[in-house]
Structure 1
Amino acid sequence: MRTPRALVARGTGPAVRDAALWAALAGAGVFAYRERVAEASPVLGLVLPLSILAVAVPGSRKRPGAAVFLANAVCALGLAEPAETASPYLAALAVLTYLLGVRSARTGAALLLFGACTAVDLALCALLGVGPVYWFYTVSMIPSALLLPWLAGRYRQARLALVRGGWERARGLEQRQRFVAEQARLRERTRIAADMHDSLGHELSLIALRAGALELSPTLSGQDRADLAVLRAAVSDAVGHLRDTIGVVRDGSDGPGGSGGYGPHGDPTASSVEPVEELVARARESGVTVDLRREGQAGALSPLVDRTAYRVVQESLTNAIKHAPGAAVRVRIVHQGARTEVRVANSAPSAGPSPVPVPAPAGAPASGHRGLTGLRERVRLIGGTLHAAPRRGGFEVLATLPDQVAPRRPGTAEELLEETGTGSESGRRLAAARRSTRRRFAVAVAAPAGLGLLLLGSAAYLAHQLTACVLRPADFAALRTGQERTELAPLLPDRDFRYVPDAVKALPAPPGTVCAYYRSSGSLLDQADVYRLCYSGSRLTAKDVLPSRPLTTSGDEA
């Protein structure tokens, strides 16, 4: 249970961070205002921007786009403030745009927002008739503060998504590992159940066979025969109960290895079973006619192959005892090349009375037919094949086994893809996140290059605008009032200065004249005086030297 103090700390965390961010962004505005406090408006330069930022910063958590628009409005206030060229709140716009890139994944909406902000700024410039420096600020600095931080925020968002995707993938792998472990436990339980079915069922069948043989002995009394009959029936019932129990266990846990078999990487101790010769000898002692022959030289058999061959013979003998009592059984084991062939065939059952009750036919629903199904799966897992079918009135089981088990069993392509992550849903999502991250990184590199070219173009255009309207001081001194325009044309620049500050334009001019303005210097960094030439018709009437920021009205008429 969380303490009240922890709840308070958790609830006020975002508010404290927003307050700290607002204080940092407002500090730049306060510092800039102190530098120009004598000529700046306190409402436009301080009160209104800080109030708007106080709303925009916390609002960026739920409405990051609206917060960016408000920050752009704060920067646009600098266009209406004649005491400054660039807004000190440009950093606030950049920070909120970065947060937009981190908190919002809507690319189209962000680009529309940037277009709207730029359109509003350009319309305000046209409405106020600002100078070229303000136009340069509007078409270069504000778009840079909008686009570049947003790209950085998107890259950060992609990185965070990639990290989150990696942790989700790791969590999924952990869950899959637990699932695989659980499946391994279930497969082991099923394997044990299959071994019980194969081994114990075989032994019980032999016991029932011996009891049936003793029941026919002439030296026994009637009571002994009755007891043996009861014993034989009890053993037969036990075999049925065992089959039913194994069926319940295996029905709930069959899987790729659910037949009770081993995979190609099974327990190496699985070969610790008796030789096939001993198995056949015990069957003979129980009264079963069995003929065993080996052909060829046995190579170095894998323990799993040796155990599988034993299981093929054991299951075949058990089926012959159950389904064909009294039949002769032939076992052939042939070693040839790198493979071993195990063939077990029994003849038709004898026509005489059977000492052992004959179970339901093979394949009938009552018997479940579990033995051959598990045996076929066991053989398949080590890369072999098994065929079982009636033959010449009897039944034949043929298994072809490799002497050595391959490192991978056939049919594991999908499992391999799932293990490596290739083709899985998590792998595809991770690859998509990586592609998105690389694409955003490329955009984050290309966008600054494009904006750099834009800035260079804007600076070149601004320089052309400010240098093409320069009237050299010597040429200005050579001008005389009363001269015609055609006489003055060789001394005048190609164009006049169109971005004259309003304060300069407001200075009084001779009545009835039309004035043209020129810059006195081509320097882009220094403030240059303005030359004013006033014409009455086509004749020069007056010429004046006006400071770019006049404190008093001055005029000069020659």
Structure 2
Amino acid sequence: MTNHGGIEEEGARLDTPRPLPTFGKALLWDAALWVVLAGAGAWGFWFALHPSVVLDLVLPLLVLAVAIPGSRRWPSAGVFAGNGLCALGLANESNPANAYALALAALTYLMGTRAKVGRVPLLVLTSCLTIDLALCAVLGRGAVWWFYAITVLPLALLVPWLVGIYQQARRALVSGGWRLAQSLEEQQRFVAEQARLRERTRIAADMHDSLGHVLSLIALRAGALELSPTLSDQDRDDVAELRQAVSEAVDHLRETVTVLRDGRDDTDPRGSSVESVKELLDRASASGIAVDLLREGDRPALSPLVEHAVYRVVQESLTNATKHAPGSAVRVRIAHEGGRTEVSVTNSASPAGPLPGLIPGNRGLTGLRERVSALGGVLRVGPLAQGFRVTAVLPDRVSSTRTDLTQQSPPEAGAESTRRMGDARRKVRLRFVAAFVAPAALALTVLPAAGYLAYQLATCVLHPTAYADIHVGQERAEFAHLLPLQSYPYPSDAMRSAPRPPGTDCEFYRSNGNLLDEVDMYRLCFSGDRLTAKDVLPDGPRVP
């Protein structure tokens, strides 16, 4: 009885879902995104060393103008277009980086939010990365280009897509939750209405039992009066007419109640008003339920419908106590005061603790609420600190004034809804991990590599003044203090194949510590420990 479906709570009001963006709104969003990405591209074009107006500005802006709106229907094609713009940077012999990595990240994010998660997006991302690496290999690019292709471009492809699919799952969870809540609310309203209709049918049957009994007594008295020798013939005819009318009223009442029934006998054969509350509790006690009855006030002459409602409150509360809290102690209190009868049934918590899972049913209290409301009473149910309580306040006599109870029960969480919501939450959590934890793990891998590369480039810088102080013919020990910690570890094949004195070993040093600029490379060639040649090789690689 500790889980009765929350009868006292009102159903949550559902906000109307926001309509999908219209064509005009979509066009404005696409135009705003194009302006942002075009601004980034123009900024990169402005600071480029030797830009091409057609390849570095006009063509990318036209591609973005087509790719951004096209990604609404073909998100994968938009990602390919953005990756193609980044490939222009890989084809650049001076610098692999360009401002369209931001466009690639934006289009990849849109693919994550719009495309269905599956093999196709993964194939798109893998194909783009394969194309970038193949382009570096075909063009014979240096280490900096490879570093750009295996760090910046994968981050622009992977991280926004993971964030996008997380956003897609989150939106699906929210919209699916609203749809599920609406469905459950409609189902709960239908179940509650069915319970109310059945309860009204029971009330009609109770009316037949009580009113039919009274009418039958009237017909019987009329039949006895008809045989009285003191009546005149006219009086006897009038009494016979009265008896006939009462008999017809009883028949009509029986027919009406029969039509109201739905073909199922929902009443408890032991739940008629013939049995009193005391007899009901004695029978429950005999079956092993610890039950206690307390009466307060003078017992008035209750209406038969009210008396049966009192019986139904106690009966339904006992049923729920044995169903939801087996082994609990039940206390019944019936108080009469001021023309009203208050019935309170309280059960303690189950000694075995709460039952696992959800208990099916929970329709009895809905029907009971309808019965109490129809008689002008109020029903209150709710948990206690240790148990559950059902309280009904009923008038002793039914009047035309009734209490309109419009409280709706919240949707009951069923197995299907629980499973669907659980699956959606798990999907969101997994995509949250993929969107944030996986990139963090990737960053922990890439950042140390980037830091190590920066350390290598920074510790192989030979300053021009130190280079000028080094002279051919000196022993290495004479100028060792002028040399950096290490030589440049990534000279290109062209540098290695440059003419050198025969039989010498050459070392390469960067002439500038700026990682973002093109720098000249100093080459020192040694024969043993003696410096035999030094020269400058221009156009060394730079870090994007």
Shorter-chain TM-score tier: 0.5 to 0.7
Q: Indicate whether 1:58 and 2:73 are aligned.
A: no
Aligned to 1:437: 428
Asked if the contact 2:462–2:509 (Cα under 8 Å) also holds between the matched residues in 1, the reply is yes
Q: CA deviation at 1:80?
A: 0.4
Pairwise CA distance, 1:58: 1.0
Amino acid at match of 1:14: A
Residue 235 of structure 2 is aligned to residue 300 of structure 1: no
- Of 261, 266, 277, which aligns to 1:250? 261
Question: Which residue of structure 2 aligns with residue 450 of structure 1?
Answer: 441
Match of 2:492 among 497, 500, 512: 500
> How far apart, CA to CA, are the structure 2 residues paired with 1:305 and 1:478?
125
Q: Distance in 2 between matches of 1:95 and 1:169?
A: 32
Shift of 1:88: 0.6
Residue from 79, 88, 94 that aligns with 1:68:
79
In the alignment, the residues of structure 2 paired with residue 302 and residue 73 of structure 1 have an alpha-carbon distance, to the nearest angstrom, of 92
TM-score (norm 1): 0.60
Are 2:27 and 1:27 aligned?
no
Residue 193 of structure 1 deviates from its aligned partner by 2.2
- Indicate the structure (1 or 2) with the bigger Cα radius of gyration: 1
Cα displacement (A) at 1:35: 2.3
Does the CA-based 8 Å contact 2:487-2:509 persist in structure 1?
no
Residue among 195, 208, 215 paired with 2:219: 208
- 8 Å CA contact 1:190–1:258 kept in 2: the answer is no
Residue identity matched to 2:27:
A
- Residues 204-230 of structure 1: CA deviation (Å, up to 9, x unaligned): 110221133234445567887676556
Greater mean alpha carbon deviation, residues 401-410 or residues 414-423: 401-410
SS of 1:529's equivalent in the other structure is: strand
Mapped to 2, the partners of 1:499 and 1:224 lie a distance apart of 132
Which residue in 1 is equivalent to 2:109?
98
Residue aligning to 2:56: 45
Q: Distance in 1 between matches of 2:301 and 2:246?
A: 31
Residue among 508, 517, 525 paired with 1:518: 508
Deviation at 1:93, TM superposition (A): 1.0
Partner secondary structure for residue 251 of structure 1: coil
Q: Residue 159 of structure 1 contacts residue 437 of structure 1 at CA under 8 Å; is this kept in 2?
A: yes
SS in 2 for 1:414: coil
Alpha carbon RMSD of aligned pairs, Å? Answer: 5.2
CA distance in 2, matches of 1:304, 1:384: 27
Take 1:298 and 1:452, find their aligned partners in 2: how far apart are those partners? 72
Q: Which residue of 1 aligns with 2:9?
A: none
Q: Indicate conservation of the 8 Å contact 2:184/2:412, yes or no.
A: no
- Whole-angstrom distance in 2 between the partners of 1:198 and 1:224: 30
Q: Deviations over 1:325-362 (max 9, x none)?
A: xxxxxxxxxxxxxxxxxxxxxxxxxxxxxxxxxxxxxx
Deviation at 1:183, TM superposition (A): 4.7
User: Greater shift after overlay, 117-126 or 180-189?
Assistant: 180-189
Q: What CA distance in whole angstroms lies between the structure 2 residues aligned with 1:255 and 1:460?
A: 80
The correspondence of residues 235-384 of structure 1 with structure 2, limited to 5 A, is 235-251=246-262, 299-300=295-296, 380-383=315-318
Residues 41 and 100 in structure 2, CA contact (< 8 A), matched pair in contact too:
yes
Aligned residues: 421
Contact (CA 8 Å) 1:204, 1:239: kept in 2 or not? yes
Report the 3-state secondary structure (helix = DSSP H, G, I; strand = E; otherwise coil) of the residue aligned with 1:153: helix
SS in 1 for 2:73: coil
TM-score, normalised by the number of residues in structure 2? 0.61
- Structure 1 CA distance, aligned partners of 2:301 and 2:319? 9
Q: Structure 1 residues 162, 307: CA separation in 2 closer, same or farther (over 3 Å shift)?
A: farther
Query: 1:21 is matched by which residue type in structure 2?
Result: L
Identical positions, percent: 48
Could you say which residue in structure 1 is the equivalent of 2:88?
Answer: 77
Cα 1:258–1:438 change in 2 (3 A) is: farther
Q: Aligned match of 1:414 in 333, 342, 360?
A: 360
Q: RCO higher in 1 or 2 (8 Å CA, sep ≥ 6)?
A: 2
1:448 & 1:406 partners in 2: Cα distance? 58
Q: Is the Cα contact below 8 Å between 2:163 and 2:436 reproduced in 1?
A: no
Q: C-alpha offsets along residues 57-98 of structure 1, whole Å, 9 cap, x if unaligned?
A: 111111212211221121111010124331210111111112
Q: What 5-or-longer segments of structure 2 have no aligned partner?
A: 1-20, 278-292, 321-331, 335-342, 364-408, 476-482
SS at match of 1:138: helix
Asked if the contact 1:530/1:546 (under 8 Å) is kept, the reply is yes
Q: Helix, strand or coil for the counterpart of 1:19?
A: helix
CA-to-aligned-CA distance 1:281-317 (integer Å, 9 cap, x gap): xxxxxxxxxxxxxxxx9833899997679867xxxxx
8 Å Cα contact 2:101/2:153 also seen in 1: yes
Helix, strand or coil: the match of 1:383? Answer: helix
Q: Distance in 2 between matches of 1:514 and 1:304?
A: 122
The correspondence for 1:13, drawn from 25, 28, 35, is: 25
**Contact 1:136–1:458, Cα closer than 8 Å, also in 2:** no
- Cα pair 1:114 1:146 within 8 Å, conserved: yes
Asked whether the equivalents of residues 132 and 462 of structure 1 are also in contact (C-alpha less than 8 Å), the reply is no
Question: Does the CA-based 8 Å contact 2:222-2:243 persist in structure 1?
Answer: yes
